[in-house]
Amino acid sequence: MSDRFIIEFDKALRTLCAPASTVREVPGSSEPEAPMSAAEKAHAAALMRVNHVGEICAQALYQGQSLTSRQADVSQALEQAAREETEHLAWTERRLAELGSRSSLLNPVWYVGALAIGVVAGKLGDDWSLGFLAETERQVEAHLDSHLSELPDEDARSRAIVAQMRRDEIAHAATAVRLGARELPAAAVKAMQLAARTMTRTAYYV
C-alpha cells in the first residue's frame, strides 16, 4: 500500500512540477512561427493554457479511475490513454513557452479536484467510470472544435497541436465505448458541462 502511494504521489509531482515528455513529434513543429499581433498572440496563449489545464485534469482523472478500476483491461486502457494525454501535456507546455506565456497558477487545485472526481467515478464501477470517460472526451472534442474556430488562422503551430489532440480524444472515447461505457444521466452531463465552463473561463486568465 505504501509503495502504491509513493508511485501515485510521484505521478502527481511529475505532472505538476516536471516537464512532460513526448514520443511523437510535436504536431506543427515544422511550421514556421507566424507573425501575430499582440492581441492574437495573447489569445492563442490563453487558449493553449486552457488546453494545458485540460491535460493536467486528464492525468488526474485517469489516475483516479485507474486506482479504483476493477478490471485489468479497463485499467490498462486508462493507463494507455494517460500516456497519450502526457504527450498532449508536453505539446501544450512547449507551445505556451513558444508564445511567451505560462501555465495556470491553479494547476494544483485543478489536479486535486480532478483526481477526486476520478476516484469517485471509478468507485461507481467500471461501466460508469468508462461512461464518465467517454462523456469527458466528447466534451473535450467539442471544446477543441471551438478552439480551432477561435485560434488565429495563421497560427499553424497551435492549430496542428489542437487538431491532433482532437483526433486522440475521439479515439479515447471510442475505446471507452468499446469496453462497455454506460451513458450518463442528463443531469450528470449538465453538471460536467458546468464544471468545464467554470474551469475554462478561469484558466483563460489565471
Q: What is the pLDDT of residues 41-67, one digit of tens each?
A: 999 999 999 999 999 998 888 888 877
Is 1 a residue whose pLDDT tops 60? no
Is 4 a residue whose pLDDT tops 70? no
The stretch 27-37 carries a mean pLDDT of 93
- Of 122, 138, 6, nearest to 74 (Cα)? 122
pLDDT of residue 166: 96
pLDDT confidence band for 193 (50 / 70 / 90): very high
Burial 143-173 (b: 16+ CB within 10 A, else e): bbeebeeebbebbbbbbbbbebbbebbeebb
- Mean pLDDT over all residues of the chain? 89
> Is residue 7 a contact partner of residue 67, using CB atoms and an 8 Å limit?
no
Reported as a single tens digit per residue, the pLDDT across 88-145 is 999 999 999 999 999 999 999 999 998 998 888 888 888 898 898 899 999 999 999 9
pLDDT of residue 31: 93
Instruction: Report d(CA 63, CA 111) in Å as an integer.
Output: 10
pLDDT of residue 91: 96
Cell of 4: 502504491
Instruction: Report d(CA 104, CA 107) in Å as an integer.
Output: 6
Which phi and psi angles does 117 have, rounded to 5°?
-65, -40
pLDDT confidence band for 74 (50 / 70 / 90): confident
